[in-house]
Structure 1
Amino acid sequence: MAFGIVAMCLLMAATVIDRPFTFRPASWSVEQDLEQERLSRMKEREEQLQAEMQRLEKELVESVPGGLGSGSGGEPEMEEEHSWNLWSALSVIAFLLLEIWRQDADPRSLQELSDEDEDSGAIGDLSRSVALPDHQTLVHFYDKCIRVPGNELSRTKELVEGCADDLLEALRSVCNRDLDMEVEECIGIGSLYENWRVKKPLVCDLIVPFTPPEPYCFRADVLCLGTGLGLGVCSGGKVTGELSFGRIRVISPGEDASACLCGRTHLGEDMLCLVHGEQIMQSKPDSSGQKDELLWSATAPYLAKGQVIRWFQKALTKAWAKIAHKYDFDLSFQDLERPGALRIRFRSGKTVHFNISPVVEFENSDVYFMPLLASDAQPGTVQSNNISWPFTFAVYEKRFLKLMAKKLPESSCHLMCLQVVSFLHEKQCNLTGASGLTHYHLKTALLHLLLSQPLGAWHHSCLQNRLRDLLRFLEKALLEKRLNHFIVGNTSTLPSFNIPDIFRSAEPLNLFRAFVTRRALYQRARRTMAEMLRNAVVLIREYSLESPSQDGIRARHKAAATEPS
């Protein structure tokens, strides 16, 4: 009996060493689910080992002649029992030592420990101690290096929107109405339409909703990552899992029985639905013979991103060839991996960039599914699966910023803070390389901060304090590896914007999820953030000069990096 207790203690110690208990924040539901799954697997293995031990003991007892209390046979049986107990103890100890050796020899464990020790002091509370310039210096820096004149923004928008409208009109004329997609009017999104663009040249982001030819229609299904069950279609009620992406299902004529009464009622042979019955008869694959030419025929019943990108690029090329004679500039693709990343080049050499992306609307809302994300859209969500579509809430975010601009004090500093941080981050990435942080992360942090601060705190004179608050918010989110999406799972935000309930009721979507799964990316983001905070004053002063020297900035950065912290 005593040995059984000792063996069980050793076995439990081995289990703890094999899968040590970790303490996670309560909000990390996905990590907790994975940990629970590991613990359940270890519990099953423990039960299997116990069952195997009991089976071996039973076989040993049955193999010994005589009973346990038979006089002369008692002493040999006791010796056999002691030898078996000794063998079992040695086996458990060997198993324990093997697990300890495996943990010590695991290079991943050593790497994680070394990374933690190395970067434990990379960033902590630098945002509080960083010496930001005074208000006058920040305003001078903003006016000189960041602020874009309003007339330049207006001219850029007018040029891009006019060119996009002509392109789409020509696209409609060159496409086959029976086989090609039907495009609607373009919608402006992104930082240029939110008045905080800092990157030059200016880039306009436009989205174009498209629909299939009649009588087909789209149905977008939102997929979520459940608790150990993989991906599934999110339905009504509370969504138990993180929203991941969506699939665009192509509904053939007659397939959606709820769309019309004829789909739920037997009309008889001599009756015809006046809504769409004739279209169904004319669009049968056997009668038309054109089903194989439809855009989604290869991946039916789901729409593939790659096919949409190729179709859209070919359609834009044909459309531009039809209207090119009307313009005195050249139009070309600047990135073949994007469906509509275009560049206007004038004869003087000046260029204007804009992105025009085809999107699919989700249930008559302002949520759209995109084949590739726009320049300021959420990163890291484009799935390798060709039928997996990331979603964007850019229209809601633009509407929220416009609403806040009306409530905040006149000449508020909220966009100035976002532009300054975006400028510093971009320049820091030019010095030390790209990091996992993006402009969309910075904008999301500002959106959260707008709700947590009083409206009067965003007065123009509070620029320095609000800038420090934004840096502190980003630093804290990076340390916790968690930055919640502003709309998904946020039930208290935008009550009057008619956001679909499936996104409101979902669990908060962590935009820093890639930092949890990719440690190298996380370490690079931490180092970039720490260097940006340390070099903020130097960067602001250098770029406030009449003619900032990039070589001088790099030299100062190298000198600061070599100084002991």
Structure 2
Amino acid sequence: MGCYLDVEKMARWFYRFVRVAWLLLPQSRHWGFKWQPSRRCCKFQLSKEQQSFTAEVIFGVRQGDSEIFVGSQGTAAGVASTTWLETCAVAEAKFLGHISRQAPQDSCHCKCLQLLSHSLLGVGFSSYTLKTVLTHLLSTIPLARWCRMDFPQCLLEILEFLLCSLQTKRLSHFVIGNQSFPLDISLPSDLRLAQPLNLFEHLASHQDAHLKAVQEYNALLHGLKQLLVHSH
């Protein structure tokens, strides 16, 4: 038997630590503190009169000096508490930060993602799918073309890329297997050189899933048109 990092035990330990620290803060006299049980993370609710908000802490362990972590979230029910999944969220966030520093001040790439994510309400596509499409385009389309006046064209190109990905049943993961990923963002060499991961692989093997995804794309397109009409 080896030693394993148990996320459930870690969550309970972290909660006790935060609870003790919270009682030492002056804010504890005016704000209520409540722990919301969760197997894979720590959720805290703070409340005061009519105000209330929730904080969620997700645990992660860094792989060496890279920007790849194994995280405590994202596992299915029934999975052992010692199971951690690899996540590229930090590397992706650093890429977007890298883009924001180089993009024009009136760049609309964040607005595009926000608008499309809002249009996802009631649609099956995940925000991660749209973020993946956006990051691919940000790495291929010159940043000067993401200015505010080109906002409608940028939205159109995102939707065209998504439609093309649906038609070919292929959407490559932006980090895994992407040899053009910025070298100044540290990745394990085997991950950078890995076979590109297809996020739409399930569409290639299940015809019903593919037909449903096409219907969801049409719903997304319709919802976006409605949103644009009401915003003017």
Same fold (TM > 0.5):
yes
Gaps of 5+ in 2: none
**1:511 is aligned to 2:199:** yes
> Which of 62, 70, 77 is the matching residue for 1:369?
70
In 2, the alpha carbon distance for the partners of 1:499 and 1:470 equals 26
Q: Which residue of 1 aligns with 2:110?
A: 415
1:468 aligns with 2:170: no
Verify the 8 A CA contact 2:173 2:197 in the aligned structure 1.
Answer: yes
From the CA coordinates, give the structure whose radius of gyration is larger.
1
SS of the aligned residue for 2:47 comes to strand
Query: What per-residue deviation string (whole Å, max 9, x for no partner) do you get for residues 448-475 of structure 1?
Result: 0011111211111100000110111112
Rounded Cα–Cα distance in structure 2 between residues aligned with 1:395 and 1:459: 26
Alignment partners' CA distance in 1, 2:55 and 2:168? 35
- 3-state DSSP class of the match of 1:535? helix
Closer/same/farther in 2, CA of residues 454 and 516 from structure 1, 3 Å limit: same
Shift of 1:446: 0.6
1:509–1:335 distance in 2 versus 1, CA, 3 Å: farther
| CA displacement 1:526-562 (0-9 Å, x = unmatched) | 32221121232223334x49xxxxxxxxxxxxxxxxx
Q: Does 1:312 align with 2:11?
A: yes
**Matching residue of 2:88:** 393
Distance 1:489 1:459 in 2: 29
When residues 365 and 320 of structure 1 are mapped into structure 2, their CA distance, relative to the original with a 3 A threshold, is same
1:392-430 CA-partner distances (Å, limit 9, x unpaired): 12222222112212222221111111111111112xx1x
Residue 345 and residue 528 in structure 1: after superposition, are their counterparts in 2 closer, same or farther (change >3 A)? Answer: farther
Look up the equivalent residue of 1:393 and give its one-letter code: C
Deviation, 1:516, is 4.1
Structure 2 CA distance for aligned equivalents of residues 466 and 335 of structure 1: 42
Of the candidates 216, 220, 224, which is equivalent to residue 532 of structure 1? Answer: 220
Cα shift at 1:325: 5.8
Residue identity (%)? 25
- 2:120 aligns to what SS in structure 1? helix
The offset of 1:484, in angstroms, is 1.1
Residue pair 1:475, 1:529 contacting (<8 A) in 2 also = yes
Displacement of 1:440 in angstroms is 1.2
Partner residue in 1 for 2:142: 454
In structure 2, what is the Cα distance between the partners aligned to 1:442 and 1:405? 18
Determine if the alignment matches structure 1 residue 499 to structure 2 residue 187.
yes
Classify 1:419/1:322 alpha carbon distance in 2 versus 1 (closer, same or farther; 3 Å): closer
- Root-mean-square deviation (CA, aligned residues, Å) is 2.6
Is the Cα contact below 8 Å between 2:70 and 2:85 reproduced in 1?
A: yes
1:332 is matched with 34
SS of residue matched to 1:351 = strand
C-alpha distance in 1 between matches for 2:167 and 2:78: 28
Counterpart code for 1:465: Q
Instruction: List gaps (5 residues or longer) in structure 1.
Output: 1-299, 374-380, 546-565
Q: Distance in 2 between matches of 1:314 and 1:539?
A: 45
- Report the secondary structure of 2:58's partner residue: strand
Instruction: Measure, in 2, the Cα distance between the counterparts of 1:313 and 1:522.
Output: 41
Deviations 1:463-521 (A, max 9, x none): 00001101111122123222111111011111222211011110001222344455555
1:353: how far off?
2.9
